[in-house]
Amino acid sequence: AQSVSQHNHHVILSEAASLELGCNYSYGGTVNLFWYVQYPGQHLQLLLKYFSGDPLVKGIKGFEAEFIKSKFSFNLRKPSVQWSDTAEYFCAARGSTLGRLYFGRGTQLTVWP
Amino acid sequence: GAVVSQHPSWVICKSGTSVKIECRSLDFQATTMFWYRQFPKQSLMLMATSNEGSKATYEQGVEKDKFLINHASLTLSTLTVTSAHPEDSSFYICSARDPGGASSYNEQFFGPGTRLTVL
């Protein structure tokens, strides 16, 4: 079965610091990858997604992620975080466009002003 | 993006009662909806996949007689927690898959969640 691992459970940064959140998946075939964000009290929102093509994917709010097939990784990055980026971030994967999503356990990001 | 609503946003009930949670896709038709449960500081756990007009597919360990799912129309799925107990207290989230056009890649859109507290 597929699984998604997020190794950073809680990340604390100061504003303007750079961010990288790790995500690894276990699946040998074609995979669709996603990063979702959940702001306090709000629903999950899609940050970015990868299906095929350019492995460097740009999303909303200045986030990007790089798909490295050889490492089964899809790390999320942002060069300069803001206080408003404080939220829970979830990595997810699915094996096909009709498949179910498998979520990582999430990473709580806290940004101090 | 497409919008998914849930009602109610929070509910408090007594042990032994049943609670119904609605999930609606507001601007698209969803042949497939998903129900998740989220515990504090933990990930979303898929409970079941709901297909319009057919029986839901439950994940291993989820009691189908306790968590009744009905997907009677292309815009509405309901989750009924029957004979709720305190251990059923949790955050329940639905999502709906938008088949849309080729560019949507069957993206899932999430509802805002329903906080259930069973006393």
B20-62 tens-digit pLDDT? 999 999 988 888 999 999 987 778 999 999 988 888 999 999 9
Give the containing element (helix H, strand E) for A107: strand A107-112
Which member of B1, B105, B108 has the closest CB to residue A101? B108
Which member of A46, A51, A105 has the closest CB to residue B43? A105
Cβ of B106 and A97 within 8 Å? yes
The per-residue pLDDT for range A74-84, each reduced to its tens digit, is 999 999 999 99
Report helix, strand or coil for A84: helix
The per-residue pLDDT for range A21-76, each reduced to its tens digit, is 999 999 777 889 999 999 988 889 999 999 989 999 999 999 999 999 999 999 99
pLDDT, residue A30, reads 83
pLDDT-based confidence at residue B1 (cuts at 50, 70, 90): low
Strands A3-5 and A73-78: unpaired
Taken in order A51, A54, A60, A63, is the CA torsion positive or negative?
positive
Residues of A in Cβ contact (< 8 Å) with B41? 106, 108
Cα Rg of chain A (Å, integer): 13
Token digits of residue B84: 């709720």
Token digits of residue B97: 């898959």
Q: Is the N-terminal amide bond of B40 cis, ω within 30° of 0?
A: no
Residues of A in Cβ contact (< 8 Å) with B93? 43-44
CB pairs under 8 A between A and B: 39
Cβ of B106 and A103 within 8 Å? no
Q: How far apart are CA A111 and CA B5, in angstroms?
A: 29
Report helix, strand or coil for B95: strand
pLDDT, residue A100, reads 84
Spatial contact of A50 and A67, defined as CB atoms under 8 Å apart: yes
Cβ of A36 and B105 within 8 Å? no
